[in-house]
Amino acid sequence: MKIGIVGLPQSGKTTLFQLLTNVELKANLQANTGIAKVLDPRITELSKIFQPKKTTYATIEVVDVAGLVVGVNKKENTLLNAIKDVDAVVQVLRAFRSDLVPTADGKIEPMRDLNQIQSELVLSDWSLLETRLERLEKERFKNKNYEKEKAVLTKCQEALEQDLPLWTLDFTDDEAKMIRGYNFLTLKPLLLVVNVDEEQMQRNTYPQQDELEAWAEERGIPIIIVSAQVEVEISQLEAEDRALFMADLGINESGIERLSRAAYAHLGLISYFTTGTDEVRAWTITQGTNAKQAAGKIHSDIERGFIRAEVVSYDDFIELGSIQKVKEKGLFRLEGKEYIVQDGDIISFRFNV
């Protein structure tokens, strides 16, 4: 999975990037890319039990885009090219107060910031769409899908011209397939990160909170609260101190855990695990993936030569403590290729090549 972080200048994007990837950066002019480990506590637990040579968490590729200066000109923001191919867009909204980091007009208004950046994304899509429409006209007599494509692009155009993101539209499967390749930014799943200060975090309140929560709820968009700066500082502490300071802040999971949990849920992703003395590892799949396809995540040979999957759920395994006990209780399952893999399944694939 790949996510792109966008927002107004000085909203805390690069600080969030650092929190997620542990990579420290100076000011950025364009875009930074880094890898965030999805610190699934289940993997940590399995690793303690199996003591493998190697423990592999799932990862998320993170792109941190420099702050978008909005409303300066009506041309698309070329900075946004850096996130054309992401699976989800994360917008950082500034709520934290700081005299050291003044906002452009002295106001802290996350709801307004949200609208400004969303309009910027709409503008970027609109410009992409113009280009595509021009090209389509040129292919008019060659392209046998001309009419259909024209219809769906016009539908998109009408929404964008009303400043509406494309995810507000309903598309048929056919339409969705046609426009998938264009990488429209406002078609990508959106997540909001509100960057609060320490006091706002402790009191669980920030400016325009009600308005923002209502907006997000109506659209089914998750909001994740972080205090980027403070959490970066906490993440650099020793484990014991870390727990203490996190409790003081009122959080029990790290920023990456909270964000990845929200992103997985929002994008319909789940994890299954493979275990052993060599490696304990998490694999990310979409909900509804069957055992044979899931095997293909590891290697295409395992998918092709799939015989069966030996499955035990993480919870059963942890509760009973060993595979032996799981078997005695009849909770060790042999599943065929059509079995729909569940979040937290520990799987061993049998295959021949």
Footprint of ligand GTP on this chain (CB under 6 A)?
7, 9-15, 27-28, 66-67, 96, 98, 101, 195, 197, 227-229
State the minimum distance, in angstroms, from the CB of residue 229 to ligand GTP: 3
Cβ atoms 34, 92 nearer than 8 A: no
Q: Is 289 in the site for Mg ion (CB under 5 A)?
A: no
Question: What CA–CA distance (Å, rounded) separates 98 from 207?
Answer: 14
Q: Which is nearer to ligand GTP, 98 or 300 (CB)?
A: 98
**CA dist list (Å): 340 to 53, 275, 287, 289:** 30, 19, 8, 6
Q: Which is nearer to ligand GTP, 27 or 72 (CB)?
A: 27
Q: Is 284 in the site for Mg ion (CB under 5 A)?
A: no
Site for Mg ion in 183-202 (CB under 5 A): none
Write out the two tokens for 211.
């308005």
State the minimum distance, in angstroms, from the CB of residue 64 to Mg ion: 6
Q: Which is nearer to ligand GTP, 22 or 28 (CB)?
A: 28
Cβ atoms 162, 209 nearer than 8 A: no
Q: Is 156 strand, coil or helix? A: helix
Q: Which is nearer to ligand GTP, 97 or 308 (CB)?
A: 97
> Taking contact as CB under 5 A, which single stretch among the options 5-13, 33-41, 124-132, 253-261 is the one that binds Mg ion?
5-13
Residue nearest to ligand GTP (CB): 67
Nearest to 89 by CA among 216, 1, 3, 2: 3
State the minimum distance, in angstroms, from the CB of residue 63 to ligand GTP: 12
Site for Mg ion in 9-68 (CB under 5 A): 13-14, 28
State the minimum distance, in angstroms, from the CB of residue 198 to Mg ion: 21
- Rg of the chain on CA atoms, in Å: 23
The binder of 284, among ligand GTP, Mg ion, none, by C-beta within 5 to 8 A per type, is none
State the minimum distance, in angstroms, from the CB of residue 22 to ligand GTP: 14
Return the C-alpha torsion angle 289, 340, 347, 285, nearest 10: 20
The binder of 98, among Mg ion, ligand GTP, none, by C-beta within 5 to 8 A per type, is ligand GTP
**Alpha helices, DSSP H only, in the chain?**
13-21, 41-50, 110-138, 146-161, 173-180, 198-203, 209-219, 228-235, 239-249, 255-267, 291-298, 300-304, 314-320, 323-328
* Number of residues forming the site for Mg ion (CB under 5 A): 3
State the minimum distance, in angstroms, from the CB of residue 9 to Mg ion: 8
